[in-house]
Amino acid sequence: ELEWREVLGYLLDYHRREDKSEWWAMFHRMEMDEEALIDDSVCLGRLVLDTSRSPVKEKKSLLHFFRFPAQDTKMRVGDAVLRSDTGKSCGSIFSLDAESGEVALKIGPKTEIPPSPFSLIPNGPRRPVVLQEAVARFASAVAAGKTKRYRAVTSILRKELPRLSGITEGKAIAQPGDDLVSAVTKAVSQLKESHLLIQGPPGTGKTFTSAHAIVELLKAGKRVGVASNSHKAINNLLEWVEKVAIEKRVKFAGVKKGSGEEDAFNGSLIVDTTDNGEAADIKYNLVAGTAWLFSRPEMDQTIDHLFIDEAGQVCLANVVAMGTAAKNIVLIGDQMQLSQVSKGIHPAKSGVSALEHLLCGHATVPPERGILLNVTRRLHPSICSFISDAVYEGRLEPHESTAKRFILADKSVTNGIRESGIAFIDVDHEGNGQCSDEEVEEVKAAYSALLKRKWNDGEEVRSLKKEDILVVTPYNMQVNRLKAALPAGARVGTVDKFQGQEAAVVLVSMATSSGEELPRNIEFLFSRQRLNVAISRAQCLAMVFASPRLLEVSCNSIDQVKLVNTLCWAKEYAGQMPSGIDV
């Protein structure tokens, strides 16, 4: 009882601690040189005015056009940006094409156009007042002994087992052999002012499953909320909700709250709005938005079931804040893929995600706490076997259709290419930290060889194309080297860029020569979650390019040994593939 109240106390100050680190990061970036800014994925480095294009009027502002060198950036349309040299506003991003290296900035008439070249850094943190007030509202209810008003939120903080009608607490929520779409739909409808975890490993259809559960709730007359950290994730789930609703002929009134056109869903059944009051209107029985919407006082306890997607990346504080809107909370995600990134230092594990808080180190959700979607329709059995054992406690299984995918044989050039599974390519190099020309050459050779191959996608035999191959690396400097070496349009990026995507083949370049050259810490490069995301993008074949010396890194803790062991395991697993599989 005391533990969860202590965590709640620390959650009251969570957003201030996070903002403090963001302010320090902003000031640090103002001191970084141009090369470092290009390598920092949250920035946009070395912009040069495009003198071939004249400014274009956009309402009361002007659009100014700039070009920039190849780099991986998380900046998006609509982002407010600052000049790195002065910290002053440089308007907002109106359009951005990372492939062509072109960006248009919407700049007001009183804002100075910076001299070229210059770099952009993110704006300072958004004031999280509405989130802080929601956490405080919940804490005040707890202090007053009124925890029953927010029973679902309390059940999460207390790490209670889900309460479902018709199921004894502590018993498995779904039984072996159950149709998982039906099992999830039924379990969600049985919630009694509680919460439920739905864990969806790669390719298991968590969005498809969630959409069916949501539509059934709408059909039953429930008011449903859909939330996540990003509008992209929200819109993806809403797209499936509309598809299922149309298919099942379920009518409902839905609204999506965003901040502008860049956040809009543009659906056929769900309307868009930028007005919080409109989104809160009770005429809508499906409401979608971020934590900033559901934390508002007018939303308090107005939602029957709140679905929080990508919950492994949503901090516990925000789940508490937006959870004040709901009688029941459904957490959808997978903490074994990219997890919540905490910028501040938070005591008593108050900075973890909601999934990490509830699962306490478990790789998969226990049967009495939620439902694991344990059948992947993406991973070939020879990839699934490794991912299941190394990441998901042996509980992930491939759908029978995945075995039909393979690369067709071509004995003329192998380049380590296999018909399916995992290949580990040793690349000797020294002195490399964030980029390796030696690995670039090996990846380039394999990429060229793959484009000459054909593959069976399970339905037809066709040639491999650029869109069928993902090239993944941990560092932006290596991303830039690979983009320069590979054909234009090649899908190259960091792990973060490709979560949620898939391709026939994935090429993973580790880049670092050895533990002595690690540019960050072991926990970053050898992250089990990041390796899981990288390899599990592959439907058919994953090829890992790495220096053998990287596996000899010195570790300072048991946890670090476990992390390095996962990459060692991948190499050992690749070496145990049946003989004759190289094609």
Locate the DSSP E strands across 269-315: 270-273, 286-288, 303-308
Cβ burial 477-488 (10 Å sphere, 16+ → b, else e): bbbbbbbebbee
* Cβ partners under 8 Å of residue 51, min gap 6: none
- Residue 430 confidence (pLDDT): 96
- Domains of the chain, by residue range, sit at 32-122, 128-373, 381-576
Q: How far is CA 582 from CA 104, 412, 415, 458, 507, in A?
A: 47, 12, 9, 20, 16
Specify whether the CB–CB gap between 536 and 570 falls below 8 A: no
CA distance 273 to 265: 10
The pLDDT value recorded for residue 582 is 43
pLDDT score of 455? 97
Task: Quickly name the fold that domain 32-122 has.
Answer: Elongation Factor Tu (Ef-tu); domain 3 (2.40.30)
CATH no. of 128-373: 3.40.50.300
State residue 578's pLDDT score: 55
Q: How many Cβ atoms sit within 10 Å of the Cβ of residue 302?
A: 17
* The CATH number of domain 381-576 is 3.40.50.300: yes
Q: Per-residue pLDDT for 404 more than 80?
A: yes
pLDDT per position as a tens digit, 45-73: 999 999 999 999 998 899 999 999 988 78
Distances (CA, A) of 479 to 78, 448, 475: 24, 17, 6
Beta-strand relationship, 61-67 and 224-227: unpaired
In angstroms, the CA 483 to CA 460 distance is: 30
d(CA 216, CA 200): 20
The C-alpha R_g of the chain, in whole angstroms, comes to 24
Percent of the chain residues topping a pLDDT of 90: 86
- Taking the C-alpha atoms of residue 262 and residue 125, their distance in angstroms, rounded to an integer, is 19
Give the C-alpha distances (Å, rounded to integers) separating 417 from 382, 405, 442.
14, 14, 12
Whose tokens are 């909370």? That residue is 329
Confidence class for position 516, pLDDT limits 50, 70, 90: very high
Q: pLDDT tens for residues 14-57? A: 999 998 988 999 999 999 999 999 988 899 999 999 999 999 99
Mean pLDDT of 516-523: 89
Whose CA is closest to 421, among 270, 570, 240? 570
Residues β-bridged to residue 336: none
Backbone φ, ψ for residue 467 (5° rounding):
-70, -10
Do 128-373 and 381-576 share a fold? yes
pLDDT per residue over 471-481, tens digit each?
A: 999 998 899 89
Is 157's pLDDT higher than 90?
yes
Rounded alpha-carbon distances, angstroms, from residue 320 to 52, 189, 198, 314: 51, 21, 18, 10
pLDDT at 414: 66
What average pLDDT is seen over the chain? 94
What is the reported pLDDT for 344?
81
Helix-then-strand count for the chain, H and E: 19, 25
Q: What is the pLDDT of residue 580?
A: 37
**Averaged over 172-188, what is the pLDDT?**
96
**Using CA atoms, how far apart are residues 248 and 2, in angstroms rounded to an integer?**
47
Query: 446 with 531: CB under 8 angstroms?
Result: no
